[in-house]
Amino acid sequence: MRTILASSGQGFGTYQQARVAAPRPLFFLTALTLFLLLGVSSMVLTRFGIHYDLQGGTPLEKIHPAHFLAMAVLLILWLSHTRPIEFVDQLFSHHKGTMIFLVSWCLLLFQIVIVQHKPFTPIIDTFIMPVVMLFVLTSMDECGRLRLARLLHFLMFVNALLALSEFALGFRLTPLDAGGVIIEGDWRSSALLGHPLTNALMTGCYLIVLSLGGGRDLPWILRPVVFGLSLLAMNAFWDAWHW
């Protein structure tokens, strides 16, 4: 997270000489994308009647709203560039690994659609969304990435605080849904990220990022607070108390 959101001079700007600060509306769209990505879980979409993680529904329902917004931001960045073809060339030149990744994704798409005759929408968010976000975030200027990094810290802080509140008070912001069935017996928190295991995975990755210096975006006095709260919240996401 730190590498993508707050990378400095060795990033995309080293060869995009004409890059300037993103217009305010474009920055807000990117911030909204990040908010939707971390703040609107699959269980929230289910509660609103969207068949994102359920059987049935249209193919568009299987793609997270943040994905559409991220694609819109990337499209605006591409169209606003003075030389759109060069912009694409620069993206793939700087992120050469994404070419191999996308070729592999195309082979996976062929396997799913042509060989197995199954829906391909589940591999859209899982594999394409990270590439789109990588392109969008590394196209931002340093100030924009710093503000987005702080937004990420804020969302993870709120997620941990909400998880501990759910655990202590015995409520759940979003009911734990499994295939359309509400699970009442599971006490683990859902918080912002939805499923407890998703929360545990994301919070664990966030703790590793903080351990490796990702908290440099925060005032020094807040770093141990955010780290300690996230570490404590891990107990609300997995069955440690029953061991």
pLDDT at 8: 35
pLDDT at 84: 86
22: confidence class by pLDDT, cuts 50, 70, 90? low
Whole-number mean pLDDT of the chain? Answer: 85
The pLDDT tens digits for 96-134 are: 999 999 999 999 999 999 999 998 988 999 999 999 999
Integer-rounded Cα radius of gyration of the chain: 19
Average confidence (pLDDT) over 48-75? 90
17: confidence class by pLDDT, cuts 50, 70, 90? very low
- As a whole number of angstroms, the distance between CA 146 and CA 21 comes to 12
Q: Where are the alpha helices (DSSP H) in the chain?
A: 2-5, 24-39, 42-47, 65-80, 84-94, 97-110, 122-123, 129-138, 142-169, 196-211, 223-233
Pairing of strands 181-182, 177-178: antiparallel
Is the torsion defined by CA of 67, 69, 71, 73 positive or negative? Answer: negative
